[in-house]
Structure 1
Amino acid sequence: MDLSHSAPEVKSVAGPEVAAAFEEFMGAFEAFKDANDQRLGELERRCVDAVTADKVERINAALDTQKALIDELTLKARRPALGGGDLATGFVSDLAAREHKAAFDAYVRTGEAAGLKRLEAKALSAGIGADGGYTVPQETEREIGKRLTALSPIRAIADVRTISAGTYKKPFMTSGPAVGWVAETAARAQTASPVLDEIAFPAMELYAMPAATQTLLDDSAVNIDEWLAIEVEAAFASQEGTAFVTGDGIARPKGFLAYDTVAENAWEWGKLGFIATGAAGDFPAAGPADPLVDLVYAVKAGYRQNGSFVMSRRTQGAVRKLKDENGQYLWAPPTAPGAQPSLLGFPVHEAEDVPEIGAGSLSIAFGDFRRGYLVVDRAGVRVLRDPYSAKPYVLFYTTKRVGGGVQDFDAIKLLKFAA
C-alpha cells in the first residue's frame, strides 16, 4: 500500500547555529537507529540488555532536546524586526496607521491617552471597551498573530478566521435534498428540502499581563511594539495550545479531545471516530505499525491528502522506534531546519497537551486539521496600562478574544490505546 505523501516545502532559514544544530540532530538520529536496531535484535533473541535499552532511551531524549533547540533557533531567525525604529520616520505608508502607532507608543510609555481617545472616537469606536484598554496598532496585532502561529501547534495547522462580532456561526447540512435519476419525459417528484443546523464558535477572552520598568519605557531605543509582542507570545501560545486540545468550551475554546468519541465503525456526526490499537496502553506486539496505517485510512481520501499527525513528545519518542514489515523506520527526521518530521509520509506536529500513551488514552490524532478544526480570532488586541498595582513596575493587561472547536467531525480521527 502506498502511503507516500509530499510534505509542503519549507524555506530554509539555516544560519550557522541552526545548520550546526541540525547536523548534530541528524547524527543523533543515525546513532538512535543503530542502537534501536540492536535493541530489536535482542528482543528477537529474547535476551534484551538493559544497557542497550537505556542507550536507546537516552538517545531518544537527546533527539527531542536537539529538535527543540532547532525549532527555537529557527523561530528566532524568522522573527522580523517590528516597527523599524523611530516612529516619526517609520516605514508605515498609511498616515492614519502611523498616527495610531505614535499615539499608542505615547500611551504605553507615559500613560498619555488623549491621542488614542481622539483616534478611536474618530473611528466610531469607544475609547475604553468593556474589557478596558486601547487597541494595539494593526502591525503589532498581525505580528502577535504570526508569532502565535509559529508557537501554537494547533493554530499552525487549523483553519483560522478573523471576525468582528462576538460569535462565529457556521451552518451545515444535516440531511441534503432528495436527488435521483429520472427519464427525460418522466414526471419529477417533489424533492425534500435540505435540513440545516448551525454550530457556533464564541470568542472567549485570553489575557496576559507583562510588566515593565519605567526605565525601559523611557528608553527611546526600545521598540515598544516588538517588546509587547514578545512578552505576550509565550503566555498566549501556552494557553491556546491547551484550550485547542483539551479545553471544555467554558470561558475558553473547546478542544478536539473534549468532544465525544466513538469507534470508527459506529461513527456519527458530532463525535470523533477512533481506531483501537488492540492493546491497552501500548501498540500491539505483532504488527505494531498496523494501527497507525488503519488510522491513516480511516480518514477519507479528500481529507487524507492534507493530513497531519498530532501527538506529544513522549508519544513521538515511542513511535520513533517502530518499523514496517520491510524493516524501514516509519518515522523520518525533518528534511531541513524548520521542517516537520514525518510519519508514514505525513508531517508530525508536537502538542504537549495531547495525553501520553496509557490504558485507554487518545494519544495520537490524524486528519486534515485545516478542515477539521476552526480557530476564531476576534479583531483587536487591547492593552490597559496599570502603573499602580505593582509599583515600581508598570503592568500591561493585554487581552485578545479567541474561540475554537471542531467544524468537520469527519476530518479528524484518533488512535485509542485500548484492546
Structure 2
Amino acid sequence: MTFDHNQSAPEIKAGIPSGDAQDVYDAMMRTFEDFKSENDARLASIEKRSGDVLVEEKVARIDAALDAHQRRLDQLSLKGAGPALAADSAARPQPSEHKSAFDAYVRSGESEGLRQIETKAMSVGSNPDGGYLVPVELDSVIGERLAMISPIRSIAGVRRISSGLYRKPFTTSGPATGWVGETAARPQTNSSTFDVLSFPAMELYAMPAATATLLDDAAVNLDDWLAGEIDQVFAEQEGMAFVSGDGVNKPKGFLSYTTVGNSAWSWGNIGTIATGVAGAFAASNPSDSLVDLIYALKAGYRQNASFVMNRRTQATVRKFKDSTGHYLWQPPATASGRASLIGFPLADTEDMPDIAAGSLSIAFGDFRRGYLIVDRQGVRVLRDPYSAKPYVLFYTTKRVGGGVQDFDAIKLLKFAVS
C-alpha cells in the first residue's frame, strides 16, 4: 500500500469517508502517516527546546482523527455483523417453529405457540425469570454482536451454563513430581490442595420500546431490530462490570481484585508494575515500563496476550518510539483488525481509567485464560403493551457473570512511584 505524502491532511477537519470499511481504513492509514510526520516534528522541536504550539495542536488534531476513523471502522464492522435482509423472500431460509412462534408473540402478543414449544421442552416459560426464550437464531445474533462491541468479551474466556452458578475447582499447590528410572520405585506424591472459584450469573436487562406501526410492518426484520436495540446497552453494562464491577449483583471486574507489586505476587492478587512517576510515564524512555509489563507475564501467557486501555491512554502511547525510531503503536493490518502495541493486539476499552496518580490504566495479559465470562443459556423477552401506551415495551433479560480465573495471567501498569 502506498501513501500520498503530498496531501495536507493535518489541515483537513478530520473528515471521515462515508464509503465502506476499506475506504475508512485507507483514510486511517494516510492519517497515521501524517501523524508520524507531525509527531517527529514535535519531538524534534522538544529536543531543540523550542516547543511549537502549532505542531502540538496538529498532532492532537490528527490523533483525534485516528480515533474517529477507528470508531467508524468499529461501527461498520458491527453493521456488517447484523443478519442480512434477503431481497427475495424465496432466498430466505425457512424459519424454525420456535422463530415463527416468537415472531407472532413479538408482533401481536400471541403466546400460545411459545407455550406449546416450552411445554414440549419440559420448561415453564414464565417462571422464574418471566417472558419467553428467544429462538436460537436470535440468541446467536445477540452473542455475535456482543462479542464485536464488548472489548473484554472478545478477548476473554466465555462459558455457557444452564444453571445460575458456575463453580471451577483449581489446585493451589500441585502434586510433587520428579524424574525416576524405568524400574525405580515411585514415591507417593503429596496431595493437591483444592479450592473453588464461583461465578454466579447475574441478571442484566434492557427495555426497548416499539410502536404498533413498526410491529405491524411485515418488512421489518424483528430479530435485527431487537438485537440492534439491546446489544449496545448490554455491551456497555457488561464492559463496565468486566473491568471494574464490584461483584454485587454484577460480574466482578479484574480491576476490583486486590493488587500487589509483581515482585510480591501471590494467588488471589493481581500483580502490578509501576511507571516510577505518579500519574505519568517516566520522562526518559517512557516505553520501558511497557516492556517491563510485558515481561512481568510468564512466557506461556505472553504468546496470546493483549493490551487493554482506553483511547485517551492510547493517544499517549501512540507517540512512543523504539530505539530505532519505529513507532510502538501500529494501526490495524486490515480493516477488520485491531491496532497493536509493541507487536501485541490492543483492545480499546473505554471503561479503563484515564492516566492519573495511582491509576491502573493499562492491563496486559492472556485474558482468555485470565478472565472468565459465564453466560446462562437463553435470552428472555417479556412483551408489555400496557405500561407505556401507545408503545409496546420488551423487557429483555440475560444472565451473565464474570471474574478472574487465573490470577497469574493478567498484569497491570500502575501510574505511581511504586
Aligned partner letter, 1:40:
L
Is the contact made by 1:83 and 1:226 (CA closer than 8 Å) also made in structure 2? Answer: no
Partner of 2:350, secondary structure, is coil
Does residue 60 (structure 1) correspond to residue 63 (structure 2)? The answer is yes
Q: 2 CA distance for matches of 1:66 and 1:153?
A: 17
Q: Map of 1:315-394 to 2, 5 A cutoff? A: 315-394=313-392
TM-score (norm 2): 0.92
Q: 2 CA distance for matches of 1:242 and 1:337?
A: 26
Paired residue for 2:178, among 172, 180, 202?
A: 180
Partner of 1:71, secondary structure, is helix
Structure 2 counterpart of 1:34: 37
Paired residue for 1:122, among 120, 123, 126?
A: 120
Q: 1 CA distance for matches of 2:258 and 2:113?
A: 50
Q: Map of 1:62-77 to 2, 5 A cutoff? A: 62-77=65-80
Does residue 417 (structure 1) correspond to residue 384 (structure 2)? The answer is no
Q: Map of 1:185-334 to 2, 5 A cutoff? A: 188-334=186-332
Q: CA deviation at 1:75?
A: 2.4
Is the contact made by 1:136 and 1:383 (CA closer than 8 Å) also made in structure 2? Answer: yes
Structure 1 vs Structure 2: percent identity of aligned residues?
Answer: 62
Q: 2 CA distance for matches of 1:258 and 1:286?
A: 31
More moved, 50-59 vs 314-323: 50-59
Is the contact made by 1:84 and 1:91 (CA closer than 8 Å) also made in structure 2? Answer: no
TM-score (norm 1): 0.92
Structure 2 counterpart of 1:164: 162
Q: 2 CA distance for matches of 1:122 and 1:80?
A: 28
Is the contact made by 1:211 and 1:396 (CA closer than 8 Å) also made in structure 2? Answer: yes
Partner of 2:166, secondary structure, is strand
More moved, 179-188 vs 224-233: 179-188
Is the contact made by 1:308 and 1:348 (CA closer than 8 Å) also made in structure 2? Answer: yes
Is the contact made by 2:24 and 2:69 (CA closer than 8 Å) also made in structure 1? Answer: yes
Is the contact made by 2:83 and 2:224 (CA closer than 8 Å) also made in structure 1? Answer: no
Structure 2 counterpart of 1:91: 93
Q: 1 CA distance for matches of 2:213 and 2:134?
A: 22
Is the contact made by 1:310 and 1:366 (CA closer than 8 Å) also made in structure 2? Answer: yes
Is the contact made by 1:85 and 1:221 (CA closer than 8 Å) also made in structure 2? Answer: no
Aligned partner letter, 2:217:
D
Is the contact made by 2:45 and 2:51 (CA closer than 8 Å) also made in structure 1? Answer: yes
Q: 1 CA distance for matches of 2:262 and 2:344?
A: 21
Q: 1 CA distance for matches of 2:91 and 2:58?
A: 57
Is the contact made by 2:82 and 2:141 (CA closer than 8 Å) also made in structure 1? Answer: no
Q: Which runs of 5+ in 1 are unaligned?
A: 1-13
Is the contact made by 2:81 and 2:145 (CA closer than 8 Å) also made in structure 1? Answer: no
Q: Tell me: CA distance 1:165–1:85, structure 2 relative to 1, closer, same or farther (3 Å).
A: farther
Partner of 1:104, secondary structure, is helix
Aligned partner letter, 1:355:
P
Partner of 1:161, secondary structure, is strand
Aligned partner letter, 2:76:
L
Q: 2 CA distance for matches of 1:381 and 1:117?
A: 16
Aligned partner letter, 1:244:
F
Q: Could you list the per-position Cα deviations for residues 374-397 of structure 1 after superposition, in whole angstroms to 9, with x for gaps in the alignment?
A: 110000100000001100000000
Paired residue for 2:107, among 109, 117, 131?
A: 109
Q: CA deviation at 1:414?
A: 0.6
Q: Tell me: CA distance 1:84–1:144, structure 2 relative to 1, closer, same or farther (3 Å).
A: farther
Partner of 2:378, secondary structure, is strand
Q: Which runs of 5+ in 2 are unaligned?
A: 1-16
Is the contact made by 2:81 and 2:144 (CA closer than 8 Å) also made in structure 1? Answer: no
Q: Tell me: CA distance 1:187–1:216, structure 2 relative to 1, closer, same or farther (3 Å).
A: closer
Across the aligned residues of Structure 1 and Structure 2, the Cα RMSD in angstroms comes to 1.9
Does residue 81 (structure 1) correspond to residue 84 (structure 2)? The answer is yes
Q: 1 CA distance for matches of 2:122 and 2:88?
A: 30
Q: CA deviation at 1:286?
A: 1.2
Is the contact made by 1:71 and 1:337 (CA closer than 8 Å) also made in structure 2? Answer: no
Q: CA deviation at 1:73?
A: 1.7
Partner of 1:23, secondary structure, is helix
Is the contact made by 2:35 and 2:59 (CA closer than 8 Å) also made in structure 1? Answer: yes
Q: Map of 1:116-155 to 2, 5 A cutoff? A: 116-155=114-153
Q: Tell me: CA distance 1:158–1:256, structure 2 relative to 1, closer, same or farther (3 Å).
A: same
Aligned partner letter, 2:216:
D
Structure 2 counterpart of 1:48: 51
Q: Tell me: CA distance 1:183–1:89, structure 2 relative to 1, closer, same or farther (3 Å).
A: closer
Q: 2 CA distance for matches of 1:186 and 1:213?
A: 79
